[in-house]
Amino acid sequence: MRLLIMGPPGAGKGTQAVALAKRIGGAHISTGDIFRANVQQQTELGKAAQRYMDAGEYVPDEVTNAMVKERLAEDDAGSAFILDGYPRTVDQVAKLDSILGELGTQLDGVLELVVDPEELIQRLLKRAETSGRTDDGEAVIRHRQEVYTAETAPLLEVYGSRGVVIKVDGMGGVDEITRRIDDALPG
Instruction: Give the binding site for ligand AMP (CB under 6 A).
Output: 9, 31-32, 35, 52-53, 56-59, 64, 85-86, 88, 92, 135, 144
CB of 178 to ligand AMP, least distance (A): 19
**What is the rounded distance in angstroms from the CA atom of residue 58 to the CA atom of residue 88?**
8
Report the amino acid identity of residue 77.
Answer: A
Q: What is the spatial distance between Cα 48 and Cα 51, in angstroms, rounded to a whole number?
A: 7
DSSP 11-60: SSHHHHHHHHHHHHT-EEEEHHHHHHHHHHTT-HHHHHHHHHHHHTPPPP
Q: Is 95 a catalytic residue?
A: no
In terms of CB distance, is 122 or 179 closer to ligand AMP? Answer: 122
Catalytic residue among 2, 71, 88, 95: 88
CB of 93 to ligand AMP, least distance (A): 10
Q: CB 3 → ligand AMP: shortest distance, Å?
A: 15
Active site residue 144: yes
Q: Which of 2, 13, 95, 180 is catalytic?
A: 13
Is 135 in contact with 54 (CB distance < 8 Å)?
yes
User: Length of the chain in residues, anyone?
Assistant: 187
Nearest residue to ligand AMP, scored by beta-carbon proximity: 32
Whose Cβ is closer to ligand AMP: residue 12's or residue 109's?
A: 12
Q: Which residues pair with 2 in a beta bridge?
A: 81
Active site residues: 13, 88, 127, 133, 144
